Amino acid sequence: MLLYDLDVSGNCYKIRLFAALTDTKLDLVPVDLAAGENHDPDFRKLNPFGEVPVLVDGDFTLRDSQAILVYLAARLADRAWWPEDAMSQATITQWLSVASSEVRNGPNAARLIRKFGYPLDMGTAMRWTDKLLPVLNAHVETQDWFALRRPTIADCALFPYLALAPEGGISLTPYPALMRWLDRVRDLPGFIPVPGLYGDC
């Protein structure tokens, strides 16, 4: 399988992280967004939105990091990361939605503004963040993981932009339970860092 990838992208990293945690083989194809490679006609055939990550598995092409996590987890013989029953899938999916909405509009947006100079509104990003982080912290005060009381793709989806929140000027110190969860993810066998995470550049 090919993963069209950008090393500093949290959305790409969540796929690389899941692959590392589950010994899933991916061949990385770097896409240089700064050079505009995502606007190349051949890449736009893979993803008309011109975004990474993109997964290519034979004749099947899939965009969107949450969808890719579901696909990869569903292919595993061990379905612990994405069980087959409806209740478990719904429980996980509600957190995938948080990753693609609240986290995207909050900590992710703040990082894009501060680290990469995106023309987004920091006030809006911080309002999303200030609403989000207390809710997440309260959730992991009562359980170690976000769904099913064990690691699932929900944790992989949420981890990158929360761990990278300081790059957006966001302190996680007021959220000790959330910080403990970040450490639990970091301690999982097979964990790999992303540039900028824990000082790794």
What is the per-residue pLDDT across 117-169, written as a single tens digit (0 to 9) for each?
999 999 999 999 999 999 999 999 999 999 999 999 999 999 999 999 999 99
Q: pLDDT value at position 145? A: 98
Range of weakest confidence among 17-26, 33-42, 123-132: 33-42
Q: pLDDT value at position 121? A: 98
Instruction: Confirm if 29 and 5 have CB atoms less than 8 A apart.
Output: yes
Q: Is the pLDDT of residue 194 over 90?
A: no
Q: Model-level pTM?
A: 0.95
Q: What is the mean pLDDT of residues 188-197?
A: 86
High-pLDDT (> 90) share of the chain, %: 96
Q: Is the pLDDT of residue 199 over 80?
A: no
- Mean pLDDT score of the chain, rounded to an integer? 96
Instruction: Confirm if 15 and 55 have CB atoms less than 8 A apart.
Output: yes
Task: For residue range 73-116, list pLDDT tens digits in order.
Answer: 999 999 999 999 999 999 999 999 999 999 999 999 999 999 99
Domain limits, the chain: 2-79, 83-186
Assess whether the region 2-79 and the region 83-186 belong to the same CATH fold: no
Residue 189 phi, psi dihedral angles, 5° rounding: -60, 130
**83-186 is classed in which CATH architecture?**
Up-down Bundle (1.20)
Between 200 and 178, the more confident residue is: 178
Q: Is the pLDDT of residue 196 over 90?
A: no
Residues 6+ apart with CB under 8 A from 76: 22, 24, 82
Do you find a cis peptide bond into 53, omega within 30 degrees of 0? Answer: yes
**2-79 is classed in which CATH architecture?**
3-Layer(aba) Sandwich (3.40)
Distance CA 110, CA 108 (A): 5
Place of tokens 């912290």: 137
5: nearest Cα among 58, 60, 59, 46: 46
Q: What is the end-to-end Cα distance of the chain in Å, rounded?
A: 26
Greatest Cα pair distance in the chain: 48
Q: pLDDT value at position 197? A: 63
DSSP per residue, the chain? -EEEE-TT-HHHHHHHHHHHHHT---EEEE--TTTTGGGSHHHHHH-TT--S-EEEETTEEEESHHHHHHHHHHHSS-GGGS-SSHHHHHHHHHHHHHIIIIIIIIIIHHHHHHHH--S--HHHHHHHHHHHHHHHHHHHHH-SSSSTTS--HHHHHHHHHHHTGGGGT---TT-HHHHHHHHHHHTSTT----TTBTTB-
Q: What is the mean pLDDT of residues 173-200?
A: 88
